[in-house]
């Protein structure tokens, strides 16, 4: 059950990042989607969605690796 939950935690932001890529691609080919009034706003929303999804996945992997001790010494928590 724990692995399935971890997979779902990573799939949802992955889909969010994929939607951001789709919006940016549609802007490049000048395809305006419904809820956006102009192409520049569509690109900006796509960029934000992509960065948010990618940073969530990266942070999740970094936190997991830090907990398991699989990162470089400079990124480990200082021991007090």
- Give Cα separations from 52 to 10, 43, 63, 66 (angstroms): 12, 14, 16, 21
Contact between 42 and 74 under an 8 Å Cβ cutoff? The reply is no
62 has a pLDDT exceeding 90: yes
Q: Output the pLDDT for position 9.
A: 86
80 has a pLDDT exceeding 80: no
pTM metric for this prediction: 0.86
- Each residue of 15-56: pLDDT tens digit? 999 999 999 999 999 999 999 999 999 999 999 999 999 999
- Give Cα separations from 37 to 14, 29, 40 (angstroms): 25, 16, 9
Q: Output the pLDDT for position 38.
A: 97
């Amino acid at each position: 059950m724990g692995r399935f939950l971890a997979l779902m935690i990573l799939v949802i932001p992955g889909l969010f990042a994929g939607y951001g890529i789709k919006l940016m691609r549609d802007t490049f080919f000048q395809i305006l989607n419904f809820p956006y009034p102009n192409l520049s706003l569509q690109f900006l929303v796509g960029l934000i969605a992509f960065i948010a999804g990618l940073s969530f996945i990266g942070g999740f992997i970094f936190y997991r690796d830090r907990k398991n001790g699989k990162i470089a010494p400079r990124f480990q928590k200082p021991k007090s």
